[in-house]
């Protein structure tokens, strides 16, 4: 918190869901208690330094406890922070994040239909660039082409980032690569798990789907007005936690690493990875660097694949991806097609 700018204010419609972790008083109390790690801070000192009444302090402590903070309290002596939660809250996400744009603010839902839907709505309501939307649970999590994304309570990172890049709409695939490449690098850096990428938007491991990226945008003619890059990443879903229909094709960091992984540090690392690459994308005005990074993370180049799109099926060899992120598919006759969308099945590596 200390190193971040004040959170801009705009109206978040209540119908999007119940939010967590907001409130300046709770933020101030959390900061004050963290500044004295393990120590007891007297109620009087808190009142004085924060300019708040005892009742206000007590309310903030209750809120923080409800959010998962462990705070010891004794009426005579004071308060002591004994533990912080691994909870997705604006405070835990943004504290000292050190990014330029990503995480300019955050709205954290217990439950919302889809963080992309909420992000699109907040973007229309003028949420600043870099605003993050998270949900502990999505009731209507979305994949590409109207598919659903299983997003159970606490099972993973279901979040979206609002961006306002000065890019033509042809930059949409670069934004999807931005989400995928950043997530893959965060996982590799934190946990050493060699996750890979699959065109157009999958994060995979051992042939199973670990996560996906869904970019949605609003445009005026050829120019992006705002985009929402949504990431769904299975983190702590157990193998038998997945619905039967996807149990054999889905993976989570837990099924790979056989332990639970805290969500907050992983989200923060993804945001840091995205922030650096996003700045480069916008300053260059094209996604060439992202496409190059994406290529390094995919085992698809040279594979024989089948691509289906709205009933059209083609087979061929993946020749690469072009600067806009389109898949280049070489047919048996040698013709190279440029595919903008489709579902890919890898037939042979």
142 touches 214 (CB < 8 A): yes
201: contact with its own copies by CB under 8 A: yes
DSSP characters for 18-56?
-B-S--HHHHHHHHHHHTSTTS-B-HHHHHHHHT--HHH
Nearest to 159 by CA among 226, 207, 102: 102
Q: How far is the CB of 345 from its own copies (least distance, A)?
A: 19
Distance of CA 51 to the CA centre of its chain: 36
For residues 47-106, which are near its own copies according to CB under 8 A? none
Q: How far apart are CA 97 and CA 2, in angstroms?
A: 10
Q: Binding residue for its own copies (CB under 8 A) from 107, 151, 176, 236? A: 176
* 108 or 213: CB nearest its own copies: 213
123: contact with its own copies by CB under 8 A: no
Q: How far apart are CA 40 and CA 80, in angstroms?
A: 5
Q: How far is the CB of 310 from its own copies (least distance, A)?
A: 7
CA distances from 137 to 45, 89, 151, 156 (A): 38, 14, 6, 9
* Span of 32-40, 188-196, 216-224, 246-254 interacting with its own copies by CB under 8 A: 216-224
Phi, psi of 73 (to 5 degrees): -140, 135
Q: How far apart are CA 137 and CA 152, in angstroms?
A: 5
Three-class secondary structure of residue 279 per DSSP = helix
Q: Please give the helix or strand (H or E) that residue 176 lies within, else none.
A: helix 172-191
Q: How far apart are CA 240 and CA 248, in angstroms?
A: 10
* Span of 46-54, 157-165, 208-216, 259-267 interacting with its own copies by CB under 8 A: 208-216
Q: How far is the CB of 145 from its own copies (least distance, A)?
A: 8
* 71 or 307: CB nearest its own copies: 307
Q: How far is the CB of 340 from its own copies (least distance, A)?
A: 4
Q: How far is the CB of 323 from its own copies (least distance, A)?
A: 13
Q: How far is the CB of 227 from its own copies (least distance, A)?
A: 9
* Span of 103-111, 179-187, 220-228, 273-281 interacting with its own copies by CB under 8 A: 220-228
Strands of the sheet with 343-348, listed across from one edge:
336-339, 327-330, 312-321, 304-309, 343-348
* 55 or 166: CB nearest its own copies: 166
Q: Binding residue for its own copies (CB under 8 A) from 219, 289, 304, 328? A: 219
Q: How far is the CB of 144 from its own copies (least distance, A)?
A: 7
DSSP characters for 54-84?
HHHHHHHHHHHHHTT-EEEEETTTEEEEEE-
Q: How far is the CB of 105 from its own copies (least distance, A)?
A: 23
223: contact with its own copies by CB under 8 A: yes
182: contact with its own copies by CB under 8 A: no
Q: Binding residue for its own copies (CB under 8 A) from 99, 107, 151, 215? A: 215
308: contact with its own copies by CB under 8 A: no
For residues 316-345, which are near its own copies according to CB under 8 A? 340-341
217: contact with its own copies by CB under 8 A: yes
CA distances from 182 to 38, 51, 113, 305, 321 (A): 35, 41, 24, 25, 18
In the block, tokens 């870099």 appear at 130
* 22 or 322: CB nearest its own copies: 322
Q: How far is the CB of 325 from its own copies (least distance, A)?
A: 9
305: contact with its own copies by CB under 8 A: no
Residues that bind its own copies (CB under 8 A): 120, 144-145, 166, 168-170, 172-173, 176, 200-201, 214-223, 225, 310, 340-341
């Amino acid at each position: 918190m200390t190193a971040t700018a004040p959170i801009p204010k705009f109206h978040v419609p209540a119908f999007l869901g119940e939010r967590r972790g907001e409130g300046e008083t709770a933020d101030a109390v959390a900061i004050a208690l963290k500044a004295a790690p393990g120590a007891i801070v007297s109620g009087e000192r808190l009142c004085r330094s924060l300019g708040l009444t005892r009742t206000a302090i007590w309310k903030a402590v209750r809120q923080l406890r409800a959010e998962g903070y462990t705070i010891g309290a004794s009426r005579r002596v004071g308060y002591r922070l004994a533990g912080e939660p691994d909870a997705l809250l604006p405070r835990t996400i943004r504290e000292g994040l050190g990014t330029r744009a990503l995480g300019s603010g955050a709205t954290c839902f217990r439950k919302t239909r889809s963080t992309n839907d909420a992000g699109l709505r907040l973007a229309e309501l003028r949420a600043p660039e870099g605003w993050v939307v998270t949900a502990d649970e999505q009731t209507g999590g979305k994949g590409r082409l109207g598919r659903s994304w299983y997003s159970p309570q606490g099972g993973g990172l279901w979040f979206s980032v609002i961006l306002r890049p000065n890019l033509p709409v042809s930059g949409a695939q670069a934004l999807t690569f931005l989400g995928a490449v950043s997530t893959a690098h965060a996982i590799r850096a934190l946990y050493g798990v060699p996750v890979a990428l699959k065109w157009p938007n999958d994060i995979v491991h051992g042939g199973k789907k670990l996560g996906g990226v869904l970019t949605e945008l609003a445009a005026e003619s050829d120019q992006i007005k705002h985009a929402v890059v949504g990431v769904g990443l299975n983190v702590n879903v157990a193998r038998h936690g997945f619905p039967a229909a996807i149990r054999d094709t889905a993976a989570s960091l837990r099924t790979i690493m056989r332990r639970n992984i805290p969500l907050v540090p992983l989200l923060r690392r993804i945001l840091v990875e995205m922030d650096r690459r996003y700045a480069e994308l916008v300053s260059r005005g094209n996604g060439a660097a992202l496409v190059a990074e994406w290529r390094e993370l995919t085992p698809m180049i040279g594979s024989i694949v089948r691509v289906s799109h709205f009933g059209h099926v083609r087979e061929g060899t993946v020749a690469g991806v072009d600067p806009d992120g389109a898949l280049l598919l070489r047919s048996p006759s040698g013709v190279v097609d440029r595919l903008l969308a489709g579902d890919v099945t890898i037939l042979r590596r």
